[in-house]
Structure 1
Amino acid sequence: MQAVPSPAQGLPSLGDTEREELSPIMERKLGEQIMHQLRRDRDYMDDAPVQEYLNNLGATLLAVRPDARGEAQYDFFFFAVRDPVLNAFALPGGFIGVHSGLILAAQSESELASVMSHEIGHVAQRHIARMIGKQKQDALIPLASLLLGALAATASPDAGMAVIAGGQGLAIQRQLNFSRDAEREADRVGLDIMRDAGFETAGMINFFGRLQKASRGYNDSAPAYLRTHPLTTERIADIEARTRDLRYRQHADSLDFSIVRARVRVLQNPSTQGLIDAEGAFKRQLQQRTRPEVIAANYGLAFVALRQGNAARAQTYLDQARAVLKSGAPSKAHDAMLTSLAIDIRLAAKQYPEALTEADAARKQFPLSRGIAIQYADALFAAERYDEAASFLRDQVSLYRSEPKLYDRLAKVYAAQNKNALQHMALAEAYALRGGLSAALDQLGIARRSSDATFYDQSIIDARERELKAQRLEELNQEKG
């Protein structure tokens, strides 16, 4: 990775005193360690349409300010966490999480963009790296656990204390509360990013203003976003001063924003009562009669029906959403979300030929959609076209080596083909990508003992086993350090 010889142009800096203690590469490694743990959490929203929306929005913001990626050229990753608490957070190395409650609380796409831009500002300015810069680099794994616990504590003190213990953990927790200067710096960087990306800068003012009003009368029970991002009157005044002379620019919310909020509303509480409550909210939303809200409400009702196991009713609501959609200009993004739901409905109804036809057309129309690629593999498997599924998935894992879902499905296909060695080799990769090195090594052991393991398979197993053992030893040494 080639380093940029000078600081990113146009970005203010708080100083470089600790950069030798935590390099950009080590910062990324720390972020990856935290993500390994977060992805195993049941509240990590591992939902392709939601992730694709957030990452498309993030890519729009970063496209206008590529220098925000820093000298290490971070490949940012945006994700959602299932939690009604209004919060968002930046992790080291370009990982940015948004609570489902914040997505639903945002009253415009510009408000959501303002939060994401602010978090990009924290990463671009390496605020977390500076706060933990004095930690030894050989202690990244325990430090990752402490940071994860501190993040949990912002939403639930009891949950946080189950992860972190003692004064050191509490110190890390306090470090997540950025300094006043760091918050104002992230505000300025974020404001520039969202302005250049075409969003309304008033979105940041509106969002912070509503947070400030919501916090009145609170003490220790203030909204989590205010606890992790201390909001002051000076910060709001600074943003207002910076936007006062800017030319007003109106940004129309995308239909994608309305649809993804409908999806998040269902995913936030998938319990029986949660689905009933969501259904009631969508039916009330239909009364608003605005085109985006009607489409999103019908989409939400279709998704609720699918989660309730009623594929026929889900198809009816989806057809209604598509009928309203035809009255306006087409958009690939929201059409991708509707198509993705259509494929899921076909699969749930066991209409496998129709599901495969739709998935095949969708993967050609949306070649960059990872979610639709996985749905195509699922449709091939459901139609019992195992050879095609295996060939497709092998191509996918060669292109996207860091996606455990692909290896999960490849293992499932190999199992259907009675290819035991290959099945367990694929499972080993899936476990390794999720941070389960011991489980991955166990799977390689099973693969080695499989009667159908070829000499070539044994060679691959030997090489991979050496790599994983070395990686595991490194982690153990870090834990001891």
Structure 2
Amino acid sequence: MAAAFAVASSGGADVYRKPPDTTNLPRLGDASREDLSPILERKLGEEIMNDIRRDPDYLDDDPTLEYLNNFGSALVAAAPDARGEANLNFFFFAVRDPMINAFALPGGFIAVHSALLIAAQNESELASVMSHEIGHVQQRHIARQLGKQREDMLLPLASLILAALAAKASPDAAMGIALGGQGLAIQRQLNFSRDAEREADRVGFQIMNSAGFDTSGMVAFFKRLQNATRLYPDPPPWLSSHPMTEERIADIQARIRTAPHHKPRPDSLDFHIIRARARVLQDGSVKGNDDNKAFFESQLTQPNRQEQIAAQYGMAFLALKKGDLAGAQNWLDKARGALKPKPGVFSAESDGSDGAPLFAGLQLEIELAPGQSDAVVQRAVKDAAMAYQQFPLSRAIAHQNAEALIAAGKYEEAARFLRDQIQQYRAEPKLYDTLARTYAREGKIALQHMALAESYALSGALPAAMDQLGLARKAKDVSFYDQSVIDAREREIKAKQKDEKDEKKDSKF
């Protein structure tokens, strides 16, 4: 898999998108170091992620994010050394892209393309890809390669990493970013060496084997990738620096013969459901919806029970996206019925396995969709409370619980719930955004701007955070206590801005 974005058009809409801003990327440290420090590596990754999160093709879909992070965390847990000396917090996410690919960014940020989620036929295949990318992070390939470059070459390198997002909307925009960062020279440096790819294969193999996945899934996916690349007149740019696929397949087959065998893990229903969800999210055009409908109808005839249920879920989600709420509820009821005689979604006996949180979440999506009656919205409040009680660790359900309270006009209860959530999950900008919206409904203007300031600060937009604090200070309802909090936050943000300015001043950029 690629270790970073490839600069290549993927056939997206021909609409110009503003190129990502690379002027404020952090200084990466002493050029004489052999590699980047873990702290600087993470900082660069966070800066790049701030741009990626603002891109329309970033799949900010709570159920997908939750599945990928649960799945990825299980793989990381099987590799005690993966977090490294900095004890990295890995973050797994998806981007909408029709090319089968995955990539790792500095600092433990790992993504899969929506097409890869759809192409993987089982969790072992998905595990093979994600374990490979974890291997890149564990071996610090990105940091080691960046550290070997001259410091004044790092900004063009960051530009190239970001250029792929613009490529989806405009190949010309992507080329501008790449050329502006001396992309033609840096691309050769960006591509991982064949030795690094072999090492990531080896580490990935060990990770997925330790996690209990069928290691033959790595071979199966390599073959699928090999078939997919035959559709292109030229190999994808990221593939040019990789070992030939036949060589990688032979190497993994040799490892399989000598590795200890164990009973492979069965696929979870969640995997099949998330694939169905990714299929709908990848292409919401009229043709895309028609193609997805035909696919799900065909999948309904398959003998595999999990695929049948996933197809019913997919039909429900597709109907929801098209505004057919009755159809969505009908298909969801069918999917739930196919699970019987297992416990119901909201049953206290359910342990959260077999898709239960995903079914609960889709039920809430339907109940909170535009056009629902007040009675249905009030039912959503009860269903959300029950789902959150049953699945308290689900971030998707927690967000929906807050949305249900807001939709029902229970603003004070929603604000209290969100403040409690923020105490546990301080790094989630979405919580602050939702809290700001809640305060706006209550008419608490100062608190609204203070919450937005925290969201902007977490997203790296420090000037915008300062602007929001200024608006909060001028609000008519600002209290003496609020003023004290604003003063403290302004000092902290100004200090952070000064540090970043000093880093930029000291660098050669």
Tell me the TM-score normalized by structure 2.
Answer: 0.85
1-structure distance, mates of 2:233, 2:405: 55
Question: Does 2:129 match 1:109?
Answer: no
Please tell me whether the aligned partners of residues 129 and 218 of structure 2 are also in contact (alpha carbons under 8 angstroms). Answer: yes
Q: Are residues 1:450 and 2:442 paired?
A: no
Residue 427 to residue 136, structure 1, CA distance change in 2 (3 Å): farther
Paired AA for residue 385 in structure 1: K
Seen in structure 2, the aligned counterparts of structure 1 residues 230 and 473 have a Cα distance that, compared at 3 Å, is farther
Query: In the TM superposition, what are the counterparts of 1:38-57 in structure 2 within 5 Å?
Result: 38-57=52-71
Q: Is the 8 A contact 1:150 1:170 kept in 2?
A: no
Distance 1:279 1:159, change over 3 A: farther
248 and 391 in structure 1: CA distance in 2 versus 1, 3 angstrom threshold: closer
Q: CA deviation at 1:478?
A: 4.3
Q: Structure 1 residue 479: deviation in Å? A: 4.6
> What are the within-5 Å matches in structure 2 for residues 60-209 of structure 1?
60-134=74-148, 144-149=158-163, 158-166=172-180, 168-209=182-223
- The answer for the alignment partner of 1:420 in structure 2 is 445
Aligned to 2:8: none
Shift of 1:217: 7.5
State the match for 1:355 in structure 2: 380
Match of 1:259 among 273, 288, 292: 273
Q: Distance in 1 between matches of 2:310 and 2:50?
A: 33
- State the match for 1:372 in structure 2: 397
Q: Determine the structure 1 residue equivalent to 2:407.
A: 382
8 Å Cα contact 1:142-1:479 kept in structure 2: no
Aligned equivalents of 2:137, 2:340: Cα separation in 1: 40
Which consecutive unaligned segments of at least 5 residues does structure 1 have? 1-16
Contact residue 151 and residue 173 of structure 1 kept, 8 A: no
Tell whether the 8 Å contact from 2:156 to 2:183 is kept in structure 1 after alignment.
no
CA shift for structure 1 position 435 = 2.2
Q: Is the 8 A contact 1:86 1:224 kept in 2?
A: no
- CA distance in 2 between counterparts of 1:151 and 1:172 reads 17
Q: TM-score, normalised by structure 1?
A: 0.90
In 2: Cα distance, 1:136 partner to 1:426 partner: 40
Residue 354 of structure 1 aligns to which amino acid in structure 2? R
- Say if 2:360 is the partner of 1:332: no
Q: Using the alignment, how far apart are the partners of 2:165 and 2:325 within structure 1? A: 38
For residues 165 and 141 of structure 2, the distance between their equivalents in structure 1, rounded to whole angstroms, comes to 16
Amino acid at match of 2:388: R
Which of 236, 248, 255 is equivalent to 1:235?
248
Contact 1:106 1:112 in 2 (8 A): yes
Higher deviation after alignment, 86-95 or 205-214: 205-214
Q: Distance in 2 between matches of 1:184 and 1:302?
A: 42
Q: Name the aligned partner's letter for residue 168 of structure 1.
A: Q
Quote how far apart the aligned CAs of 1:56 are: 1.0
Deviations 1:289-345 (A, max 9, x none): 421111101101111111111211111100000000124586614100010000111
Take 1:208 and 1:380, find their aligned partners in 2: how far apart are those partners?
46
The CA distance in 2 between the partners of 1:71 and 1:104, in whole Å, is: 34
Write the mapping of 1:307-346 to structure 2, written as runs, cut at 5 A: 307-327=321-341, 332-333=352-353, 334-346=355-367
The change in CA–CA distance for 1:357 and 1:140 in structure 2 (over 3 A counts) is: farther
Structure 1 residue 132: Cα displacement: 0.4
Give the residue type in structure 2 aligned to 1:313.
G
Aligned 8 A contact 1:298 1:318 in 2: yes
> Which amino acid in the other structure matches residue 386 of structure 1?
Y
Kept in 2: contact 1:155–1:224 (CA 8 A): no
Mapped to 2, the partners of 1:131 and 1:366 lie a distance apart of 42
Kept in 2: contact 1:362–1:372 (CA 8 A): yes
Larger RCO, structures 1/2 (Cα 8 Å, 6+ apart): 2
Alignment partners' CA distance in 2, 1:33 and 1:132: 15
Deviation of 1:275 after TM superposition, in Å, equals 2.1
How many pairs align? 464
Q: Which amino acid aligns with 1:264?
A: A
Distance 1:324 1:181 in 2: 48
* 1:401 aligned onto 2:421: no
Measure, in 2, the Cα distance between the counterparts of 1:381 and 1:228: 51
Corresponding position of 1:411:
436
Shift of 1:178: 0.9
- Preserved CA contact (<8 Å) 1:38 1:44: yes
- When the two chains are superposed, the root-mean-square deviation of aligned CA atoms in Å is 2.5
> Counterparts of 2:391 and 2:295 in 1: how far apart (Å)?
31
Task: Assess if the C-alpha contact under 8 Å between 1:262 and 1:300 holds in 2.
Answer: yes
Judge conservation of contact 2:219–2:252 (CA < 8 Å) in 1: yes
Q: Is contact 1:164–1:170 with CA below 8 Å preserved after alignment? A: yes
Q: Quick one: structure 1 residues 132 and 154, their matched pair in 2 at CA, closer, same or farther if it must change by over 3 Å?
A: farther
**1:453 aligned partner, one-letter code:** V
Which shifted more, 211-220 or 301-310? 211-220
State the identity %: 61
Q: Deviations over 1:184-227 (max 9, x none)?
A: 1000000011011111100001111222233347552x246634
Residues 156-205 of structure 1: CA distance to partner in whole angstroms, max 9, x if unpaired?
85453233334633343333321111001000000011011111100001
Counterpart residue type for residue 395 of structure 2: R
**Separation (CA, whole Å) in 2 of partners of 1:75 and 1:167:** 29
The 1-side partners of 2:146 and 2:395 are apart by 34
Q: Distance in 2 between matches of 1:156 and 1:106?
A: 28
- Indicate the larger mover: 242-251 or 61-70: 242-251
Q: Given that residues 141 and 475 in structure 1 are in contact (C-alpha distance below 8 angstroms), is that contact kept between their aligned partners in structure 2?
A: no
One-letter amino acid of the structure 2 residue matched with residue 86 of structure 1: I
Any conservation in 2 of the 1:58–1:116 contact (CA below 8 Å)? yes
Q: Distance in 2 between matches of 1:142 and 1:450?
A: 42
Q: CA deviation at 1:77?
A: 0.6
Taking the TM superposition and a 5 Å limit, the aligned residue runs for 1:300-311 are: 300-311=314-325
CA positional deviation for 1:48? 0.7
Amino acid at match of 2:403: D
Which shows bigger deviation, 69-78 or 226-235?
A: 226-235
Q: 1:476 deviation in Å?
A: 4.1
Contact 1:85 1:101 survives alignment (8 Å): yes
Q: Partners of 1:210 and 1:230 in 2: how far apart? A: 16
By how many angstroms is 1:385 displaced?
1.0
8 Å CA contact 2:405, 2:413 repeated in 1? yes
Amino acid corresponding to residue 298 of structure 2 in structure 1: R
Check the 8 A contact 2:198/2:243 in 1, yes or no.
Answer: no
Aligned to 1:226: 239
Q: Tell me the alpha carbon deviations over residues 121-172 of structure 1, each in whole angstroms, 9 at most, x when there is no partner.
A: 0000000101101457799777544432267669985453233334633343
Aligned mates of 1:116, 1:285 — CA distance in 2: 26
Task: State how far apart, in whole Å, the 2-side matches of 1:262 and 1:52 are.
Answer: 15
- Structure 2 counterpart SS, 1:45: coil
